[in-house]
Chain A
Amino acid sequence: MRIYESAVKKPVTTALIFVALVVLGLFSFSRLSVDLYPEIELNAVTVMTTYSGASAMDIEQNVTKRLETSLSTVTDLKRISSTSKDNISLITIEFEYGTNMDEAINDVRSILDMQRNYLPEECDNPVVFKFSADMMPIMFISANSDVSSKALYKILEDKVANPINRIDGVASTSISGAPQREIQISTDPNKMQAYGITVEQIANLISMENRNIPGGTIDVGTDTYSLRVDGEFRESDEIKNIIVGSFLGRSIYMRDIAVVKDTLKERSAEVYTNGERGATIIVQKQSGANVVDIADNILKELPQIQNSLPPDVKLEVILDTSEFIKDSIGSLSETVLLAGLFVMIVVLFFLGRWRATFIIILTIPVSLIAAFIYLMITGNTLNIISLSSLSIAIGMVVDDAIVVLENITTHIERGSKPKDAAIYATNEVAVAVIASTLTIISVFFPLTMVSGLAGIMFKQLGWIVTIIISVSTLAALTLTPMLSSMILRQDPKRSKSFMFFYSPIEKGLDALDNGYERLLRWAVNYRFVVISSAAGIFIVSLILLSKVGTDFFPESDNSHIGITVELPVGSRVEQARKLNEYLYDKWTKKYPEIEILQASLGLSDGSNVFMSMRSSGTHIVTFTARLCDPRERERDMFEIGDQMRKDLQELPEIYRYTVSPGGGGGMGFGGTTLEIDVLGYDFANSEMVAGKISEIMKNTKGLRDVKLSREDYMPQFQVMFDRNKLALNGLTMTGAATVVRNRINGVTASYFREDGEEYDIVVKNDIAFRTTVDDINNILLFSAQGKAVRLSEVGTVIESFAPPSIQHLDRERVIKVTGTIFKRSLGDVAADVTKETEKIEMPQGIAVELSGTIEEQQESFTDMLTLLALVVLLTYIVMAAQFESFRDPFIIMFSLPFAFSGVFLALWMTGTTLSLIALIGAVMLVGIVVKNGIVLIDYINLNKERGSSVKRSVISGGKSRLRPVLMTTLTTILGMLPMAIGLGEGSEIWQPMGISIIGGLTLSTILTLIVIPSIYTAFHAGDIKKRRRRWARDLKTVKTA
């Protein structure tokens, strides 16, 4: 018994199987967590090695080079790059996508273990860092305060960070920008000199004074008492009154030689939110936790937390990554629902029957819900990719059901009982339905095998569509006949009111049929005109291709702009503060779209991994601007970003700046960058070439923020001690250096404890005595005999420049020249720049390479073309097997060029660039487009086998298949329409796919309906003659025998 026969005969079983499927699907749906993208394992590890005191060159030669050479033997290595700076070597090893990172890290570790012995003695052990997307903070909360600002850190830690930390799924919270308390002892070197006291002595004394020591136990009578000496300071004021020594019989108190301040740390990161100084609380999630749930919980807790805070402390959420996720997911869900509605209207329009429409529409939820089961079993999330896959599939899932139902209806109209009609009619079309499903699967299944970044994006798409389409076919072969046998009637009555609306539609459809028949008759007779003009259209469309630019990923507006402004290296933090105030005033007035403008400046305190990864320094100001909803503003973030660049351009004191709309980095977000690598060992030559390239890039249209990766030389003061003179004074190099450090940087003498918290007690020269070179020269150095000498007597302070960091790419020295693309396609910009750079005369040993996004783009475009070839071959195989012919699938393949013409045309008309997403759309078209051809040729063949002439078969076959073809095409097109229009935040990513599929499918369907019959006639015109001739020949051989 065949599957559809049993389905019709056992309606209860069939119905319940699908009910179970739906229930299981809904259950999975309720368990799915929501995220923006499928889980992406970042394919890079960083090896950090510190070698104190070594210069960038030393590091490069002794550490980086050695490690790089051995690390480059790791399997699946894609790229190895490094930066050698003073004291630190950073090597980043990038692996191919899809590499098992655990194994890769083990490999890296074992190599490092092996190399450990060959590294310089004083060099620390190399540390391996693995970065993952989970390390990205999910929420930034800013805290502003007025009078409580001094205690802000403690308030935030106790009242905000800790409660948030307790929320399920939160991995850590850290506070940045809140000044931490510190007890400073600012010494006056002149007074100290007069009394003969050093900073070291004070530090020592404080640590001796500030101590609790248990004194053991003592038995008094029958009791045992413990004995304690509590020497720790109870109040910071006590420090003032410590006696540090005596001079001429008088006690010298701390307050005589130093100022004791219970205050805030001197150098720390400062965070300004909307111009007010405050702190930022950064929330990181545990790996695998649901961002949306965590964010919701935090937001729910926030009012309560706010209530517990002093009234002047205001909390505000600056960045909530879940918002973008929710918006994207929300708009995609709308897209799916809208697509479903469109499909329903199309089906009702063509069939004009409620029951039939219901049966067909039912396959949509059944098959879509099956995708949720897959997502849950594989541990995936509900994300942009999976939802888009649903939206792509929705127009296609009804196709099989339409074909089956159409045939059942024909049988019923011819007089079969619904039950028998359901079985036998399904039997007739089962093979064709399965074949057309196989063509779709042969397009989407290979997507699951794509490698690289595209692979991560499209693996889920491939699986989901394959599963949905398979389930829809299963439903079409079981559920549809079963329901048809139950609820379809022989001659169903249509109500008068329904007919009022529907009869004009029906008449229109009939007229369309007849018009098409006439057109086809003409096309078949003038087939060479038709074929050659179609070829002409294709060739013209190829010209369009050159007008369509290429991009890797479409840019999307996520309402964030990241800005980094650098003052000349070494600028004081006050300068940065002034700049921040100026820019804040200017920007908030000029761009009312900015909702929140956050700035951070100063040296990061390094307490948070994420913050310390950002480059920081007294001369750097980092801004994050959050704009309002894209629908509520006219300028998009790219335009605003470009305006900001112009503003920054006007300020001469700025050394350089970067404006990255989208917040910089991240997949599919924000601006793309063009990167050119200048490889070569010689510093001077490579710098010269890089300089020329950056000039070219600055002059290229559509490039902004051109920068070189090699930083400027850093100004520094260097104390050069004379070893001989040191030795004469009984000093050592280390001893002298430590003294300098203790005066300028300070020494943490001890910790002041209060309420379970510890605060540093720092001793150093008062700020007034460490601002000039003379202050350094005047530092007193004491020998072991107590003899004092000025630093200027044993050494000199010279001004010098620190060498830049040295970067490597694949073990060669490199300078990266990068630029951000603005309002132009990446492919065009890259082509322009390459053309110009080729003119540069390259010195010996210097090579220039395109890299970054353009490299990825070229790689994945090549991948896509390979995929396209594979998909075409697979569909050909499927069709050849179905028709048992080499010729017919070949004829059907003629609809492909027009599909591509349509893609180019649609992209050109909408001004969209050919991106990876648009290409995927083109690949998907192969499967979708040939479906029409299959339906058409299949029926034409059928007519021919029934004995009609070729022309008559073509014309009557075409006429009878017009409606199914139009119907399945329209459902697919309208299913994609919401995606192509691009509703909601983040939709820009998928827009090119919608546009290319709609364009390709529309043009190819229109042309297929005319051109394919003509080509078919041209190929098969001689068939009957040939058969007669063969018959005559066979007959002759029989007679002569």
Chain B
Amino acid sequence: MKAVMIIYNQAHNSLVTAALDKCTVRGFTKWPEVQGRGSHKGEPHYGTHAWPSMNMATLAVVEPEKLSILLAELKAINDSAQQQGLRVFVWEAESAI
């Protein structure tokens, strides 16, 4: 099982949900408002006057075989609008109850 942490601009909300559905990922956890900024060019997302946009974070634990399709979907979303910002981090989920 792989833990997939998707952190993305709120504007991608509907697309990310659609991607998860498409890959039949049923379970996930979502934080609707998180802050952050990209390591290289990414604009800050602080929800302030200067940086009004906010990020969302979705944590989904998926079967390894679904991972590549999901990543491809998410990459497509990011490519469609580079400036909005979408990052995915994947790590091993050792066990679950």
The reply to whether B50 and A946 form a contact with Cβ atoms under 8 Å apart is: yes
Q: Are A424 and B50 in contact (CB under 8 A)?
A: no
B48→A945 contact, CB < 8 A: yes
Choice from B10, B49, B80, B83 contacting A424 with Cβ under 8 Å: B10
Residues of A within 8 A of B51 (CB): 945-946
Closest to B48 in A: A945
B27 within 8 A of A: no
Q: Are B11 and A942 within 8 A (Cβ)? A: no
Segment at the interface with B among A52-60, A413-421, A531-539? A413-421
Considering only CB atoms, which chain A residue lies closest to B44 in the complex?
A: A946
Q: Does A109 contact B (CB under 8 A)?
A: no
A783 at the interface (CB under 8 A from B): no
Residues of the A chain whose Cβ atoms lie less than 8 Å from the Cβ of B53:
424, 428
Report the interface size class on chain B: 10 to 19
Chain B neighbourhood of A416, CB < 8 A: 9, 11-12, 81, 84
Q: Is the beta-carbon distance between A415 and B50 smaller than 8 angstroms?
A: no
Which residues of chain A (934-967) have a CB below 8 Å from chain B?
941-942, 945-946
Q: In whole angstroms, what is the CA distance A427 to B9 when docked? A: 14
| A411 is an interface residue with CB less than 8 A from chain B | yes
Contacts of B81 in A (CB 8 A): 414-416
The interface on chain A, measured as residues whose beta carbon lies within 8 A of the other chain's beta carbons, has a size of: 15
Is B24 close to A, CB under 8 A?
no
**Residue B72 CB within 8 A of the other chain:** no
Q: Is B68 an interface residue (CB 8 A)?
A: no
CA A427 to CA B11, docked complex, whole Å: 12
Shortest beta-carbon distance, B51 to chain A, in Å?
Answer: 7
Bound state CA distance, A180 and B62, in angstroms? Answer: 107
A945 to chain B minimum Cβ distance, whole angstroms, is 3
CA distance A415 to B78 in the complex (A): 9
Q: Is the CB of A941 within 8 A of B49?
A: yes
Known contacts: A420-B10, A424-B10. The answer to whether A415 contacts B48 by CB under 8 A is no
Q: Which of B10, B82, B84 gathers the greatest number of chain A CB atoms within 10 Å?
A: B84
With CB as the reference atom, state the residue of chain B lying closest to A422: B11
A420 & B14 in contact (Cβ 8 Å cutoff): yes
Nearest B residue to A415 via CB reads: B81
Q: Say yes or no: A428-B52 contact (C-beta < 8 A), given A419-B14, A420-B10, A420-B13.
A: yes
Task: Give the complex CA separation of A942 and B13 in angstroms.
Answer: 25
Contact of B50 among A411, A417, A419, A942 (CB under 8 A): A942
With an 8 A cutoff between CB atoms, is B15 at the interface?
A: yes
Cβ-closest chain A residue relative to B84: A415
Instruction: Kindly provide the distance from the CB of A952 to the nearest chain B CB, expressed in whole angstroms.
Output: 14
For window 278-297 of A, CB contacts with B under 8 Å fall at none
Are A415 and B10 in touch, CB under 8 angstroms? no
**B10 smallest CB distance to A (angstroms):** 5
The CA-CA distance from A414 to B43 in the complex, in Å, is 13
The closest CB in chain A to the CB of B10 belongs to: A424
C-alpha spacing A153/B48, complex, angstroms: 83
Taken together as a complex, chains A and B put the C-alpha atoms of A414 and B12 apart, in Å, by 12
Assembled-state Cα–Cα distance A171/B10 (Å): 68
- Check A420–B48 contact: CB distance below 8 A: no
List chain B residues, Cβ under 8 A from A415: 11, 80-84
Contact with A along B5-47 (1 / 0, CB 8 A): 0000111111100000000000000000000000000000000
Separation of A414 and B53 alpha carbons in the complex (Å): 13
Closest to B82 in A: A415
Tell me which residues across on chain A come within 8 A of B84, comparing CB atoms.
414-416
Cβ contact of B49, chosen from A414, A417, A945, cutoff 8 A: A945
The answer to whether A417 touches B11, judged by C-beta atoms less than 8 angstroms apart, is: yes
In the bound complex, how far is the Cα of B68 from the Cα of A316, in angstroms?
A: 93
Assembled-state Cα–Cα distance A421/B9 (Å)? 11
Within A958-983, the residues touching B (CB, 8 Å) are none
Which residue of the partner chain, among A420, A427, A942, contacts B12 with CB atoms under 8 Å?
A420
User: Is B11 touching A420 in the complex (CB atoms < 8 A)?
Assistant: yes
Cβ of B48: which chain A residues have Cβ within 8 Å of it? Answer: 945
A942 engages B14 (CB within 8 Å): no
B50: A residues at CB distance < 8 A: 941-942, 945-946
Q: Which of B9, B15, B49 contacts A942 (CB 8 A)?
A: B49
Residues 537-590 (chain A) with a chain B CB within 8 angstroms: none
Q: How far is the CA of A428 from the CA of B51 in the complex (A)?
A: 9
Q: How far is the CA of A416 from the CA of B12 in the complex (A)?
A: 7
Give the docked Cα–Cα distance between A942 and B50 (Å).
5
Shortest Cβ distance from A946 into B: residue: B50
Mask of A614-632 contacts with B, CB within 8 angstroms, 1/0: 0000000000000000000
Q: Would you list which residues of chain A between 23 and 51 have a CB under 8 Å from chain B?
A: none
| Cα(A946)–Cα(B51), bound, Å | 7
Q: How far is the CA of A421 from the CA of B10 in the complex (A)?
A: 9
Q: Which of A770-804 contact B (CB under 8 A)?
A: none
Q: Which residues in A have their C-beta under 8 angstroms from that of B49?
A: 941-942, 945
Inter-chain contacts of A428 with B (CB < 8 A): 52-53
Please tell me if the beta carbons of B11 and A421 are within 8 angstroms of each other in the complex. yes
Chain B hits for A414, CB < 8 A: 81, 83-84
Inter-chain CA distance A636–B16, complex, in Å, is 72
B10, B11, B50, B81: most-surrounded residue (chain A CB, <10 A)? B11
- A427 touching B52, Cβ below 8 Å: yes
Contact residues in A for B15 (Cβ distance below 8 Å) = 417
Type the 1/0 row for B49-77, where 1 means its CB is closer than 8 Å to any CB of A.
11111100000000000000000000000
Q: Contacts A942-B50, A946-B50 given; indicate if A417 touches B83 (C-beta within 8 A).
A: no
A417-472 residues at the B interface, CB under 8 angstroms: 417, 419-421, 424, 427-428
A416→B10 CA distance, assembly (Å): 9
Q: Which residues of B contact A420 (CB under 8 A)?
A: 10-14
A565 CB, nearest partner CB in chain B, Å: 73
| A residues in contact with B13, CB < 8 Å | 420
- The B-contacting residues of A in range 399-420, CB under 8 angstroms, are 411, 414-417, 419-420
List 3 A-B pairs, minimum CB-CB distance, nearest first: A415-B81, A945-B50, A416-B11
Knowing that A415-B11, A424-B53, A945-B49 touch, tell me 4 more A-B residue pairs with CB under 8 angstroms.
A420-B10, A424-B54, A942-B50, A945-B50
17 contacts between A and B (CB under 8 A): A411-B11, A414-B81, A415-B81, A416-B9, A416-B11, A416-B12, A417-B11, A417-B14, A417-B15, A419-B14, A420-B11, A424-B11, A424-B53, A427-B52, A941-B50, A942-B49, A945-B48
